[in-house]
Amino acid sequence: MARIILATLSIFIFVSAATICGFGLWLHQEFHKNGPLNNDKIVHIQSGTGLKRIAAQLEKDNIISSAFVFTTKNRLYGEHKNLQAGEYMMPAGISMKGVQQKLLTGDTYHRSITVPEGLTSVEIVELINNTSDMREQVMVIPAQGTLLPETYFYDKNVSRLDVMDRMQKSMSSTLDKLWDKRTVSDDIVSSPEEAIILASIIQKEAGNYEEMPRVAGVFANRLQKNMRLQSDPTVIFAITNGDPEREGYGPLGRRITRKDWEFESPYNTYKYTGLPPGPICHPSKESIKAALNPEKHDYLFFVASGDGGHAFAKTLSEHNRNVAKWRRVRNDAGKSQ
């Protein structure tokens, strides 16, 4: 009788072990195989959501095939307490293991807004207010030159004011770091505020990053000689007050003319020497760096060359020849259109 009981018990243990092993193997395979999701999908796990509700939500959204498998695997290894809330981008075919790893590491999906270099405050506020998935409209226009143009990541329903605050802090910290490494003399740029003013003009004038230090050098030379900067973008800012025309050619809605050079404004660098009273746009890190570290040379003039860059000159006669070349290039381009 004892042998029968022992044999029965052995069979039971064997069957149970085999069942457990088989269940464990099935669980492992289900957890690691590709999921049912056909297209990438964003899912938002609310803060305070428990494992059971997370699994149910994932199954309902067709991201995982079995809430039971997902729940069981996470409980077996005690991972259910470490799953993080947030917005996640789930790629097509992601496995339950892949989903688990995203939730464990907090690999959340971040939306982004890119602020182009050289925009005015009005333009940046318009860009922020027209960006979806944010709350609160920006009602107050920030001071010119206080926001750093770059790409900012944000979560859904973030306050637009918080995003703009980050832009301001980014500009402040960037300026502090670059100011400490400046080589420009104090008679050209005597304060961080003046650095931003000069950088904003460089931003609007330079054709590319490589040109910025050379353009900065031209303005540095003119400032040292007490020459007027004669920068068209300062005149445009004076006329538009930083609120550019939305239609037509450029921010004025037309080409700038010689008559515009007489426009009465302290921002008009054709009428007044020195730097204007404030920035004319929000400059990039590269333009600030150029303003604080201008290239040393003897150039006093520059004009568009027609290839995306500028032709630089040391004398007025040389500059006039470059201007004539530019006009020919512009006229030829107009005829071919």
CATH number of the domain that residue 82 is part of: 3.30.1490.480
Domain boundary among 109, 144, 177: 109
CB 79 within 8 A of CB 97: no
Residue 245 sits in which domain range? 185-336
Q: 211: Cβ–Cβ under 8 A, 6 or more apart, which residues?
A: 309, 310
| Spatial distance between the Cα atoms of 221 and 122, rounded to a whole number of angstroms | 32
| Spatial distance between the Cα atoms of 63 and 93, rounded to a whole number of angstroms | 8
Residue whose C-alpha is closest to residue 269's, from 223, 225, 215, 333: 223
Residue type, 143: A
Is residue 21 assigned to a domain? Answer: no
The residue-averaged pLDDT of 274-297 equals 97
| Judgement on whether residues 158 and 232 belong to the same structural domain of the protein | no
Q: 138 versus 157: which is more confidently predicted? A: 138
Residue 138, pLDDT above cutoff 90:
yes
Q: How confident is the model at residue 244 (pLDDT cuts 50, 70, 90)?
A: confident
**17-31, 83-97, 195-209, 295-309: which has the minimum mean pLDDT?**
17-31
Is residue 10 assigned to a domain? Answer: no
Is residue 17 assigned to a domain? Answer: no
| Judgement on whether residues 52 and 142 belong to the same structural domain of the protein | no
| Judgement on whether residues 267 and 313 belong to the same structural domain of the protein | yes
Give the distance from CA 69 to its chain's centroid. 40
Q: How confident is the model at residue 47 (pLDDT cuts 50, 70, 90)?
A: confident
Is residue 191 assigned to a domain? Answer: yes
Instruction: Assign 3-class secondary structure to the chain.
Output: CHHHHHHHHHHHHHHHHHHHHHHHHHHHHHHHCCCCCCCCEEEEECCCCCHHHHHHHHHHCCCCCCHHHHHHHHHHCCHHHHCCCEEEEECCCCCHHHHHHHHHHCCCCCEEEECCCCCCHHHHHHHHHCCCCEECCCCCCCCCCCCCCCEEEECCCEEHHHHHHHHHHHHHHHHHHHHCCCCCCCCCCCCHHHHHHHHHHHHHHCCCHHHHHHHHHHHHHHHHCCCCCCCHHHHHHHHHCCCCCCCCECCCECCCCCHHHHCCCCCCCCCCCCCCCCCCCCCCHHHHHHHHCCCCCCCCEEEECCCCCEEEECCHHHHHHHHHHHHHHHHHHHHHC
Round the average pLDDT of the chain to a whole number and report it.
89
The residue-averaged pLDDT of 254-280 equals 94
Q: 11 versus 57: which is more confidently predicted? A: 57
| Spatial distance between the Cα atoms of 221 and 203, rounded to a whole number of angstroms | 17
Residue 10, pLDDT above cutoff 70:
no
| Judgement on whether residues 103 and 128 belong to the same structural domain of the protein | no
Residue 337, pLDDT above cutoff 90:
no
| Judgement on whether residues 159 and 214 belong to the same structural domain of the protein | no
Residue 3, pLDDT above cutoff 70:
no
Q: Which tokens hold the place of 11?
A: 């069979």
| Judgement on whether residues 323 and 215 belong to the same structural domain of the protein | yes
Domain boundary among 83, 109, 135: 109
pLDDT at residue 14 in the model? 47
| Spatial distance between the Cα atoms of 315 and 171, rounded to a whole number of angstroms | 36
| Judgement on whether residues 118 and 103 belong to the same structural domain of the protein | no
